[in-house]
Structure 1
C-alpha cells in the first residue's frame, strides 16, 4: 500500500477510480467546506473515513504539507508500451511523452500535470535514473498523475524503437536541434522525448530520435527548465491537433433599403 496526501491528489484518486483506496484519514483540527466535500465524496464512493490528530497525519505522510488529509491506496500498476500503442479512433493521432532521466519529483509532477491537461495519450518512464511516481509527485501534479496512463520500461531506447515500428515519430527536444518546435507538424502519431535536468538527452536516446526540435531563446540563457519546456511544446502540439472550431452560422441579413426605394 502507498500513501497519497493533499486535497487534490486524494480527490483525484477517488474520481479516477484507477486505484483501490483502503481508507482516507482527515485531521480532527480541520473543518471547512472543501474537506466536507471530500468526506461526502468518500462516503458516496464507499470509502472509509477516519479522524486523526494532525500530528499523526504528519508522521504517516512524513511531511506537514498534507493539508489535513491523506489516503492509503493500493500500489500503482504501470502499463507496458504495447498498452499505450492501442489504436485510437479513425482520424485521431496519438501523442505521447517520454522522459529520459527526470530525477526531480517536482519536475516530474509538473510534467504529468501538463501532460494530463494537454491530452497526452500516455507517458513513458524508465525504471532506472528516473524519479518514482510518489506522493510528492502526486501532490505537485495536483492529482493529475492519477489520471495519466504511465508505462514503466527497463530500456527507453528499446521502447522508442518499438514505437517507431508502430509508425510513431520520435521527437527529441534539444537546444541545438532543428527545426523550431513551431515549424513541426504535430498532426501525426508522435512521442515527445525530454531529457535530464541540465544534461539533456542521453546520446543513445538522441540518436534514436527522428527529429530534434528546439525552442528559440531570445534572452541570454540557452534553455528553459525541463517542465516549462515540455509545457511549451505539449501545448503547441495540442493547439495544432485541436479540430477547428465550427463558426456559428451567419444570420441572414435583412434586405437593406437604399435611397431610391
Structure 2
C-alpha cells in the first residue's frame, strides 16, 4: 500500500551529513570591529574641532586655537588660564599681562563679551576661536562660559641680585629713598601677595621676596589684587629664604620680623631709617623658627587685646606706613 502524501508543513529533513555554506557567512558574524573615537568620525563635531586645531597649529595666527593647555606645564612657571566671563573681563580691566584670548565658536555674545573683545583689541591681544571641547581641555574642565585668558608665567628676578642692585643704586644716589624690602614666610594666599605688593608700591618698597618652595606665586589673582602695582614692584624669588636673609644682613640690610609676641614695639622703630627688610609670616603659623632666629628684631604691632592677630597684608601695610612716617619725619 502506498504511503500517504504530505500536505503543507515543514519539509522532511534528510538524515546524514549536509552541505555547508563554505564559510560565506563568516564575515557577517565577525562584526565591524571597535567603535572609532569621536575625533575620527567625519560626521562628529569632535572631528571638525580636531581639524581646526591642526590647521591652526600648521598656520599660526589664523584666528583659530592651537592646542595649548594648562596640563602642558604645571611647574613653577606654568602658564595660567583665567576662565569665565566676569573673571576674564576683570583681568583685562586690571591690565593683567596676557598672551591670548580664547573664545568658543558661536559664543552667545552679551555686554561682557563685547567689552572683553574691545579691551583685547585695544591691547592688540590675539583672539583665538576654538571649539568647546578644546576649550574644556585647555581649562581643565573649568566653567569658562566660552572665554579663557592665557596669562604668561611671571619672570621672577633672583632675590639676592635684586637686593644687591638696589643697594648699589642707593649708594650711587640713583634712588632717593633708603632700600626697603618685604619678605614673605609661608604666605600662600595670592590675594595677600597682591595686597602686599599694592602697599609696597604705595610706601616706596623696592621689592617683595618670596621663597621658591611652599609659597605663593604671581598668579592672575595676585595681579588683580595688586591693582596694577605688580607692574612697578618686582617680586623676587629666593631659593632659600633663611640663607637670603643671612646674606642681606651681611650686605648691611637690617631684618625685622613681625609677630604679635615681639619684644620691640613698632611705634617709633629705631631701625626704620636704615636699609630694612620686613619679614611677615602666615596668619596661622607666624614666622618659622629659622627665619625668626635670623631676624635682628622681632617687632609687634600694638593692637587691642581682644584681637588675636592681623591679616598678613594688613600687618605689612601698617608697618610700611610707620616706617615711611619715621623716614620722612
TM-score by length of 1: 0.73
The whole-number CA distance in structure 1 between the counterparts of 2:203 and 2:142 is 30
The whole-number CA distance in structure 2 between the counterparts of 1:139 and 1:68 is 21
Q: Number of matched residues?
A: 235
User: Structure 1 stretches of 5 or more lacking a match?
Assistant: 245-261
Residue of structure 1 equivalent to 2:183 = 98
Deviations 1:46-95 (CA, angstroms, capped at 9, x unpaired):
3223578999599738766x899753233211111212431232652111
The whole-number CA distance in structure 1 between the counterparts of 2:222 and 2:141 is 14
The whole-number CA distance in structure 2 between the counterparts of 1:24 and 1:136 is 17
Residue of structure 2 equivalent to 1:215 = 301
Residue of structure 2 equivalent to 1:203 = 289
The whole-number CA distance in structure 2 between the counterparts of 1:116 and 1:68 is 35
- Of 320, 323, 327, 1:234 maps to 320
Contact 2:259 / 2:286 at 8 angstroms: preserved in 1?
A: yes
1:239-254 mapped onto 2 (5 Å cutoff): 239-241=325-327, 243=328
How much has 1:215 moved relative to structure 2?
Answer: 0.7
How much has 1:188 moved relative to structure 2?
Answer: 2.3
> In the alignment, does 2:215 pair up with 1:130?
yes
> In the alignment, does 2:152 pair up with 1:74?
yes
Residue of structure 2 equivalent to 1:10 = 92
Residue of structure 2 equivalent to 1:157 = 242
CA root-mean-square deviation: 3.4
Instruction: Select the structure with the greater relative contact order (CA < 8 A; seq sep ≥ 6).
Output: 1
- Of 257, 262, 265, 1:177 maps to 262
Contact 2:81 / 2:139 at 8 angstroms: preserved in 1?
A: no
Contact 1:11 / 1:143 at 8 angstroms: preserved in 2?
A: no
SS class of match (1:148): coil
How much has 1:124 moved relative to structure 2?
Answer: 0.7
User: Structure 2 stretches of 5 or more lacking a match?
Assistant: 1-77
The whole-number CA distance in structure 2 between the counterparts of 1:137 and 1:229 is 18
How much has 1:156 moved relative to structure 2?
Answer: 0.4
The whole-number CA distance in structure 2 between the counterparts of 1:223 and 1:67 is 39
TM-score by length of 2: 0.60
Contact 1:10 / 1:143 at 8 angstroms: preserved in 2?
A: no
Could you say if the C-alpha distance between residues 85 and 31 of structure 1 is closer, same or farther in structure 2, counting changes exceeding 3 Å?
A: farther
The whole-number CA distance in structure 2 between the counterparts of 1:157 and 1:165 is 13
Contact 1:8 / 1:142 at 8 angstroms: preserved in 2?
A: no
Residue of structure 2 equivalent to 1:47 = 125
- Of 106, 109, 134, 1:29 maps to 109
